[in-house]
Copies of this chain bind each other. A is one copy, B any other.
Amino acid sequence: MNNQIFVKMALDGWNAQIKATDNMLAKLSDEQLMHEVSPGRNRGIYLLGHLTAVHDLMLPLLRFEEAAYPELRATFIDSPDRAVADLPSVEELRAQWTTVNEKLSRHFATLSPDEWLTPHASVAEEDFAKEPHRNRLNVLLSRTGHLSNHRGQLILLAPKG
């Protein structure tokens, strides 16, 4: 019973962040996403690619399936903005962002509360025995925070007022 409540709280938090981000992205034009969130800082397109790459890698990290767009990692995680000249279009990234989050959402719906407490893919079995908090739900919690962090930056691209 309590497990269900905990999982619901974590999923509610994730879903609220995804929804708020989607609503925000729907209001930002492709052109606005080419701007920097603050002078000299990351551009919107980079943050969108970064979030998409990180969420895509949650698919293997949560032991669901292979990453759908593993090529995003080099550009949007391993490299800072502007280090890679040849970026996917904003349109393409928007579509990948949606696809990846839909895949995650479908997998989330299949996990029982107990399965959320099983180890994620990057923790060794002997470590997990001692550190049972290194589970799949913890990945969800930390990625929710990661999304919240960058959403706070992306919103700076919206018209003021």
Contact = CB atoms under 8 A, between A and B. Distances in A.
Dominant secondary structure of chain A at its interface with chain B = helix
A138 interface: yes
Nearest to A13: B141
A136 B5 CA distance: 12
Given A5-B132, A144-B145, A156 B41 contact: yes
Contact of A133 (B5, B149, B152, B160): B5
Oligomeric state, in number of copies? 2
Interface residues of A, number: 34
A160 B38 CA distance: 11
A114 to B, nearest CB: 9
Interface in A23-75: 37-41
Given A145-B17, A153-B152, A160 B40 contact: yes
Contacts of A133: 5, 8-9, 12
A15 interface: no
A142 interface: yes
Contacts of A153: 152-153, 156
